[in-house]
Amino acid sequence: GPLSHKALGALTLATVVALFFNLDTLLLAKLPGSLFIANQIEKRLAGTTRSESDGFGPDSALAANKKSPYPVLGNMPEFTQVTAWLNSPPLTKESLRGKVVLIDFWTYSCINCIRTLPAVTRWDEKYRGQGLVIVGVHTPEFQFEKEVDNIKAAIARHGIKYPVAVDNDYGTWKAYSNQFWPVKYLIDAEGKLRLTHFGEGDEDVFEQAIQSILMEAKLLHAPVEVDPAKRNADFRRIHSPETYVGFSRASNFFSNERMALDTTTNYTAPASLRLNYWALGGAWKVADEAAILQAPGGKIQFRFQAPKLNLVMKGTEKGIRAKILIDGAPLPANMRGVDVGADGKAIINDARLYNLVTLPKEDDAEHLFEMIFESPNVELYAFTFG
């Protein structure tokens, strides 16, 4: 349920300190509320460095003003090494002084980020005229997410009208000592960080904080109705974790052959798979980030237990057709994801997340997913579940 202002501040402080000391995310998940939920974020495995010069980070958090329901956690870092600005001319922290700023770190193939975007775009429409400036900082997880045209397509797809900073070199990510997608930072009109929000959930609580900081700056004169929180996914039903296909982060791979880096290999699938294990079949070259099909007829299998199965893929301009099977049979109409046609096939062209399976509400069983590609050059990056 909604947290008190005092609990919000305490939780944010505890989270910042725990992150600084690299405490386990499972420990963090047990903190009250859901401003940090371990299974609702993606963690960047590469190390991040603290910014020592901007007063941002755990040291400043420990010295925060405990009397405020939203204590000062540090100064807003500058936008750093931004390679492009979309929907806006370049912004600086000085140009934003006097405004309340919401910084939203996201990347367009991240399912957790995608599920938070409706709330963020709604806040932009609701509070832009009241002095709130939302800045999406797009920091890529995969190489294809660095392509500005791909980011522009995602912005259009999700109806994003607020400024987006393209953070391909991780400069702004590092300035914020960030480690996760999605993360939101709420900054007051004086350029002070007041609240952080990790992962999904608690949109109503965060909106209350937006209103409070706007009223503190006399930009909003009275509270307005807060949109009720919406459950983006029922995490009690999700028993399959995000699983990477590329060599550098692959786990639970169970083809009969050992995975080989950058070498075309004819893989065969085993007779059966355990829950959350996956396999390739056919001629594939597994690169650092993705598995790339080298000949027609290749397939991928995954035994999963979750309401929705998604796969981050990149196809060709003409599109690569793929047939989908569930438990060895053609995918029935009542299980087709939004990216599956009436013929039970998906067409892979754009580099993005594809929703392939959406199970009926009463179906909590394990299922064997199988996707068979009609032509080569498809690139497979990661499974995600919802």
Domain shared by 227 and 243, yes or no:
no
pLDDT digits (tens, 9 = 90+) for 162-200: 999 999 999 999 999 999 999 999 999 999 999 999 999
Same domain, 210 and 320: no
Mean pLDDT to the nearest integer, 303-327? 97
Residues 93-107 have pLDDT tens digits of 999 999 999 999 999
Q: Tell me: do 249 and 210 sit in the same domain.
A: no
Question: Same domain, yes or no, for 221 and 270?
Answer: no
- Judged by DSSP in three states, 129 sits in helix
Q: From residue 304, give the alpha-carbon distance in Å to each of 237, 325, 339.
A: 11, 13, 18
DSSP for 304-317 reads E-SSEEEEEEE--S
Q: What's the CATH number where 368 sits?
A: 2.60.120.260
**pLDDT confidence bin for 249, thresholds 50/70/90:** very high
171 and 33 in a common domain: yes
Domain-terminating residue out of 210, 232, 254: 232
251-276 pLDDT, tens digit each = 999 999 999 999 999 999 999 999 99
Residue appearing with tokens 């004819």: 266
Q: How far is CA 158 from CA 58, 69, 112, 116, in A?
A: 34, 33, 14, 11
Residues 333, 261 share a domain: yes
pLDDT digits (tens, 9 = 90+) for 4-45: 333 333 334 334 433 333 333 222 222 322 343 333 445 443
What's the number of domains the chain is made of?
2
Domain of residue 273 covers 238-385
Confidence of residue 230 (pLDDT cuts 50, 70, 90): confident
Tens of pLDDT, residues 47-95: 333 333 344 443 333 233 445 689 999 999 999 999 999 999 999 999 9
Instruction: Please tell me the predicted confidence (pLDDT) of residue 301.
Output: 99
The DSSP call for residue 206 is H
For 191-220, what is the mean pLDDT?
Answer: 96
Residue 342's identity, in one-letter code, is A
The tokens describing 303, both together, are 């035994």
Burial of 198-226, coded b for 16+ CB within 10 Å and e otherwise, reads: bbbbbbebbbbbbbbbbebbebbeeeeeb
Co-location of 225 and 246 in the same domain: no
Asked if residue 247 and residue 186 are part of one domain, the reply reads no
Q: Same structural domain for residues 378 and 246?
A: yes
Q: Is the peptide bond before 90 cis (omega within 30 degrees of 0)?
A: no
pLDDT at 7: 33
In the prediction, which pLDDT does 234 show? 80
Last residue of a domain, one of 232, 258, 291: 232
Assess contact for 202 and 3: CB atoms under 8 A.
yes
State the distance between the two ends of the chain, measured CA to CA, in whole angstroms. 21
24 and 61 part of one domain? yes
Looking at 195, 214, 232, the residue that finishes a domain is 232
CATH of the domain at 33: 3.40.30.10
Cα within 13 Å of Cα(35), Cβ side: 25
pLDDT for 233 beyond 80: no
Q: Which of 21-25, 153-157, 221-225 has the lowest mean pLDDT?
A: 21-25
Average pLDDT over residues 152-160: 98
> Quick one: pLDDT at residue 235?
83
Q: What pLDDT score does 67 carry?
A: 56
Distance in angstroms (rounded) separating the CA atoms of residues 239 and 354: 19
Using DSSP, state whether 165 is helix, strand or coil.
Answer: strand
For residues 220 and 252, state if they share a domain: no
Instruction: Give CA separation, 48 vs 179, 180, 195, 329, 379, in Å.
Output: 7, 11, 20, 45, 28
Cα(160)–Cα(97) distance, integer angstroms: 23
From the list 173, 159, 181, 34, the residue with the least C-alpha distance to 111 is: 181
Same domain, 75 and 156: yes
